[in-house]
């Protein structure tokens, strides 16, 4: 469709009249700059979100590694902090493991809701030392009893196992209750 020259001149007159065309061009440039800035910010937010996701995954892996280096010995009536170390050394003697020197920490296992405990939590420097310790315990044909360690305890034997993640603690407690009943 052909437009009349008068229409074109009227329309072009609106654009250039009183600087209207320049104002529209400046507004467009400003909005384009704002869009570019928003796009850059959006990309940066996406990068940060991805980076945060990777950091959370690394934290989960580190937590899991920390859990994998821990061993739980339950069923001991503890008298004090030094007793934890003594119990662990006696267990090492009974099973014939030489990992007693390769431990990072030996202490009571304390749940937030329950300050009293009859469990010793052992943290190893290397996961391989923990695996050696657990393999020796599993190689025994019978469970370790308090008499074997020359320790007074109300329990018939000790439960020694890999430290469980919090979501498995319920199953662990139920298993331990069955063990105390001799089942």
Cα separation, 85 vs 63, whole angstroms: 24
pLDDT the model gives residue 14: 46
Considering the four listed CATH numbers 3.40.50.2000, 3.30.360.10, 1.25.40.10, 3.30.70.330, the one that applies to the domain covering 69-180 is: 3.30.70.330
**Quick check: 10 pLDDT over 50?**
no
pTM of the model: 0.46
Contact present, 122 and 70 (Cβ < 8 Å): yes
pLDDT the model gives residue 69: 64
Alpha helices in the chain (DSSP H): 5-16, 20-68, 81-95, 127-139, 146-149, 169-180
Q: Using a pLDDT cut of 70, give the percent of the chain over it.
A: 49
**Quick check: 57 pLDDT over 70?**
yes
**Quick check: 45 pLDDT over 70?**
yes
pLDDT the model gives residue 124: 77
């Amino acid at each position: 469709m052909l437009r009349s020259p008068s229409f074109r001149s009227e329309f072009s007159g609106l654009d250039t009249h009183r600087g209207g065309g320049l104002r529209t061009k400046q507004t467009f440039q400003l909005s384009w700059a704002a869009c570019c800035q928003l796009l850059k910010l959006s990309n940066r937010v996406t990068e940060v979100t991805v980076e945060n996701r990777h950091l959370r995954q690394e934290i989960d892996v580190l937590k899991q590694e920390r859990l994998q280096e821990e061993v739980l010995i339950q069923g001991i009536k503890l008298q004090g902090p030094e007793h934890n170390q003594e119990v662990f050394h006696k267990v090492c003697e009974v099973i014939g493991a030489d990992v007693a020197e390769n431990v990072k920490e030996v202490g009571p296992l304390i749940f937030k809701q329950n300050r009293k405990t009859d469990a010793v939590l052992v943290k190893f420097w290397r996961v391989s030392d923990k695996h050696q310790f657990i393999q020796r315990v599993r190689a025994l044909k019978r469970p370790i009893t308090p008499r074997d360690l020359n320790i007074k305890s109300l329990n018939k034997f000790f439960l020694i196992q890999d430290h469980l993640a919090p979501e498995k603690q319920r199953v662990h407690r139920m298993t331990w209750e069955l063990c105390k009943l001799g089942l």
